[in-house]
A and B are shown apart, each in its own frame.
Chain A
Amino acid sequence: GQNIDQPTEMTATEGAIVQINCTYQTSGFNGLFWYQQHAGEAPTFLSYNVLDGLEEKGRFSSFLSRSKGYSYLLLKELQMKDSASYLCAVTPAGTALIFGKGTTLSVSS
């Protein structure tokens, strides 16, 4: 079976740094994705990790440890517009994605 876990909710203040963790147990592994989803909208792509280590894209970074089945998304210099759901997803076979339940991040001023 496939299992992807992430916290349900997180809160933070503007300008802060927040780390959203994701652990996974899947039948295979061909990469881990992070998506952002604002209420009422489709998910939008943030990052992709297939090798161990840190990938940085501006204010967002994503880390992967395949041996531990663990990833995190790091958001720096938080802004109000970062209030959204963050979805961790794994592609076990390189065909379809399996998603976690998502983490709702609330950023306050």
Chain B
Amino acid sequence: NAGVTQTPKFQVLKTGQSMTLQCAQDMNHEYMSWYRQDPGMGLRLIHYSVGAGITDQGEVPNGYNVSRSTTEDFPLRLLSAAPSQTSVYFCASIKSGTYLNNSPLHFGNGTRLTVT
């Protein structure tokens, strides 16, 4: 198993450009989520999904779109990048119901995005 794979690892965008951060997992996990991490702000939930075809907003959804057409993939789209979206982005997944079984959230290695 590769676990949770995020691409790219690093990206520089200009204001107004669009791009998609990719996230894929091969563990058949139903739940997937996107976080951004900024200095002093911890991890903030952007969007999450409890299964294919189902997505919901987290704490800071503005400026980001998601879709979940398959169980494996959960891409995050920036339609018009802004400097405020400069951050480290983490994708995470977990099998449904396993929180109660002391199963950890699996994180990708992160995407470091800079918007100039």
Q: A96 with B58: in contact, given A42-B108, A42-B110 (CB under 8 Å)? A: yes
Main DSSP-derived SS at the A contact region: loop
Residues A95 and B50 in contact, CB atoms below 8 Å apart: yes
Residues A97 and B45 in contact, CB atoms below 8 Å apart: yes
A91 CA / B63 CA spacing, docked (Å):
24
Report the nearest A residue to B4, measured CB to CB. Answer: A42
Instruction: Tell me if B84 counts as interface (CB < 8 A to partner A).
Output: no
Residues A31 and B59 in contact, CB atoms below 8 Å apart: no
Report the nearest A residue to B34, measured CB to CB. Answer: A96
- CB-defined interface of A1-44 with B at 8 Å, one 1/0 digit per residue? 01000001000000000000000000000110100000001110
Instruction: Tell me if B25 counts as interface (CB < 8 A to partner A).
Output: no
A48 CA / B105 CA spacing, docked (Å):
11
Instruction: Tell me if A87 counts as interface (CB < 8 A to partner B).
Output: yes
CB-CB < 8 A to A102: which residues of B?
A: 42-43
Please provide the chain A residues from 73 to 109 with a CB less than 8 Å away from any CB of chain B in the complex: 87, 89, 91, 94-102
